[in-house]
A = this chain, B = another copy of it.
Amino acid sequence: MSKGLPKRSENYPEWYNELVKRADLAENSAVRGCMVIKPYGFSIWEKMQATLDQMFKDTGHVNAYFPLFIPKSYLSREASHVEGFAKECAVVTHYRLKNAPDGSGVIVDPEAKLEEELIVRPTSETVIWSTYKNWIQSYRDLPLLINQWANVVRWEMRTRLFLRTTEFLWQEGHTAHANAAEAIAETEQMLEVYATFAEQFMALPVIRGRKTANERFAGAVDTYCIEALMQDGKALQAGTSHFLGQNFAKAFDVRFASQDQKLDYVWGTSWGVSTRLVGALIMAHSDDEGLVLPPKLAPIQVVIVPIFRSNEELTRISETAQAIRKNLLAKGISVKYDDRDTYKPGWKFTEYEMKGVPVRLAIGPKDMDNGTVEVARRDTREKMTMSREGIEPKIAQLLTDIQENIYQRAWAFRQENTVRVDSYGEFKELLDRKGGFLLAHWDGTSETEEKIKEETKATIRCIPLDAEEEPGACVYTGKPSAQRVVFARNY
């Protein structure tokens, strides 16, 4: 099964594509740029969703649902928003089909043309703020803390499964506040929720930072982000949280009466993560044998494979396997017992390695005689023999260890590949040789940022929140700079 999975060191993009396919995660659909998320891939997204949804609720948010379609004119209401989004939209112009006169199928009915075209939402700020206008009159209506799980469409020219697709699934939070400080606190809180999720569940260390003006969300005053490093040395933006100021409130005339009866525009935030996180998860941890999943997001945490030649052997092994399964389930661990006789154990081993199941237990006749179980962990591919007696707490501990080990490995990789760079020659050389996060001084101008991007394809991923003040000289112009920023090539 794993035969022919390209090696990461030889062809990383092809390794990724093949892995997504072989691990049954997703595939391209007949519709250009749209993917089909297959059951196994979707079950990873479901685990992410469930975890994030609880984190949003724990921070006081509620879910709602807003329309898929946005009237075309809404997009123009916020000047910079339209520049960022209007260019890549799916446009609905008609609402009916009819039979072709020649009987060849159906055609668009020219009589059924919409007066105003509808845009399939690329993001929902406009439709949501047009609604908030009716929901917010007074300070009593604030804060409004709403999240939506939805599909969005951005017409992309080059797509890649999970990482960049025309349609994708995401959540978008849209909150409204009585003052700037509260809105900024919300923006920062949600960035921290994303960072916590990435680190504690995805086992993915991230840099928390702010975007430069060039990379800011269209319509935001400030964009915060978390940035992760993939195994090929490229950066991946894993989540963004935007302080919108009063931009959308002004565009849609959303005002509130304050406690002292003054009328003011409402302050807003928005924040989102998407199915792109599944791509990040795959690329951050997996190896040449297949997926490596952190236990907290693995749809199957433990698989049990019986090794048997006769039905009698299977019956005997199954009794033990089912008892272990039951005890692990009672500990909240998801377990699959794969006793199919249509596939050989070796085939199953390869299959579950490809699918990234963190722990595999194998039980054969000898194990039965010896009271043992063979335990294999996916992250290090180590095998060990454990006593069957009291194995359950050891497996629970092993899952915790694997979660931690995957994080530590990703952290060590990022450490190795985060380099302070002070000359432009070294900057370019490093980017070409191994990529990574380059910590360099920058003079703060969009012009320099764009020139570096043109010449090296590296962008400023973020201005880190925790950076020390450190006076220096811009790596490109030599002009003064107050702190280092993070450069990288990116997805």
Contacts and interface: CB of A to CB of B under 8 A. Distances in A.
A333 B37 CA distance: 35
A97 B87 contact: yes
Given A92-B120, A97-B86, A119-B97, A36 B106 contact: no
Interface in A110-130: 117-120, 127, 130
A31 B114 CA distance: 11
Of the four ranges (under 10, 10 to 19, 20 to 34, 35 or more), the interface on chain A belongs to 35 or more
A65 B95 contact: no
Nearest to A115: B32
Contacts of A46: 63
Nearest to A155: B95
A91 B90 contact: no
Interface stretch (A66-74, A185-193, A282-290): A66-74
A88 B93 contact: no
B93 A94 contact: yes
Contacts of A98: 86-87
Interface in A132-147: 134, 140, 146
Nearest to A146: B39
B62 A37 contact: no
B30 A130 contact: yes
Given A45-B65, A95-B155, A108-B117, 17 more contacts: A27-B131, A31-B70, A35-B67, A37-B64, A39-B62, A39-B146, A46-B63, A68-B120, A68-B151, A86-B98, A87-B98, A90-B94, A90-B118, A92-B92, A120-B120, A140-B342, A151-B151
27 contacts: A29-B67, A29-B127, A29-B131, A30-B74, A31-B70, A31-B118, A34-B69, A36-B64, A36-B66, A36-B67, A37-B64, A38-B64, A39-B146, A42-B63, A42-B64, A68-B120, A72-B108, A76-B105, A82-B105, A88-B96, A89-B96, A90-B95, A91-B96, A91-B97, A91-B108, A93-B93, A97-B119
